[in-house]
A and B are shown apart, each in its own frame.
Chain A
Amino acid sequence: MNVLVDLGQTGRLRSPDREVLTLARTLAAGGAVTALTHAPRAEDVAAELGGYGVSILYAPEGEATDLSLTDTALLDAALGESGATLVLGPNDAETTDAFARLAVRHSAAVITDAVGMAADRTVTKSVLAGGYTTTAAPTTDLAFVTLAPNSVQAEEPEEGPAPEVKPLSVSVSGAAATVTGTREAPASSRPKLTEARVVVVGGRGVGENFSLVEELADELGAAVGASRAVVDAGWAEHSAQVGQTGVTVSPQLYLCAGVSGAIQHRAGMQTSQTIVAINKDENAQIFDIADYGVVGDLNKVIPQLIEALRERRG
């Protein structure tokens, strides 16, 4: 089958994009893999795409200032030119919106936040906050699927000829919102939460002294995460929230302190390889899924842990 990959707005390949490209090549099974970037400068992203077997990269001629409408039109145009029957993309808001709109326009199946897709187009998805795994298959020839991060082992690109870049120009009419300003998130020297090998998470039990969690994270070279209770209290940014309405992480080591382990939190971390929890309540739900649990006061355990880690490195 021919597969079209939507690479979103950033104009560079992020790790979720690499996962989608890897899956696209597998599913295409010799069919054409094409891609769309919504960022006007396509050259930056094109160079690497050949390594994933992408033959054509569609790119817009100008920058969009509206929300959703131009992005949807670009994807529709790329879809028309590519002849793809499967459109894949990472599970972000903009991609989901465009896929949902085109699913209506083309009466096609859309499945979001998938964790996998098989050659027979069966899509696997986790629902009810991770409590169930469902499989579903599109009944239409055309299907749109977004992939949850950390679902597929991303391949490193091989050597390959860079794709041909085809400019797309679209004109839109209809109602749309206007982006009036953009504030980039401050750059952090820590690894990205969704990509980190080790994630250290603080919950309400940490209290206002969230820097203790950050200190431990830095000692472990880890990304910093938080429960919603911590975000609601203003001790951490929303971008750090792990869980159903935050990010999903699946690191080698997930270490949390002062987190009770509510189902909505577990939804975002229960596929981590090793889970370590520190909590003073021995009945905390988080211990049900922890590989190693410490029943104790985090204000004593964490400083001692940091000290012990320093000594080991010593």
Chain B
Amino acid sequence: MKINDAYLEYLLRLGDNALILGQRLSEWCGHGPILEQDIAITNIALDFIGQARMLYQYAAEIEGSGKTEDDFAYFRDAHQFKNVLLVEQPNEDWAYTIIRQFMYDAYNFYFHRALQTSKDPKLAAYAEKSIKEITYHLRWSSEWVVRLGDGTTESHERIQRALDEYWSFHGELIIPDEIDMIMAETEIGVNLTEIKPLVEEKMNEIFLMAGLRKPASTWMHKGGKNGIHSEYLGYILAEMQAVQRTYPGNEW
């Protein structure tokens, strides 16, 4: 695979993770458990959508055929999206949303911290801008894991159940495939093998503080990075893309 093809694919993976998670989180808008957290979680959703925009704009530049960020967001089908399976999993309730968010944030923090030293100054600048937002995301979701895990009997049971169910989706974030390895070798991307122990240590630390039992299973889902998705992505795209698909190029 040529470096340029790998790089485009890599940027789309990063952009798709941010966009799909941002879209998922925005489903909470108006439905948060209290006003304060409704605003907190939609702020985070907007951070992700802002990051997706920067990545798509850069991907469009690299691709070089005159595409825009909107082409990537609104005119691709599910198999062309390269986000990990974790981010498309449903919100379910606050516990599931928090577990999904925390596992993603733990990865995302160490990923972007490392990305700041990318050989591509543009990608490094993107990482430097985003790490401030992501540092807050990780603090916010870590606190919620501890509050629910170490809260009441019911909150503990519910977040443990969420962890048991979503645990097997985190592996895809930190297990490198061919493109991850090509990008790590060029030193443009992040070496996942290097950040994997840091991500795992962060999870262990927070789960311990929260009194949660880390699932024993080591089997992990994969497929999203290569465009093989769960049924959920189609529904997310249907809602997200409906307006642009119905009125292409429409602006407001």
To the question of whether A and B form a pair in one complex, the answer is no
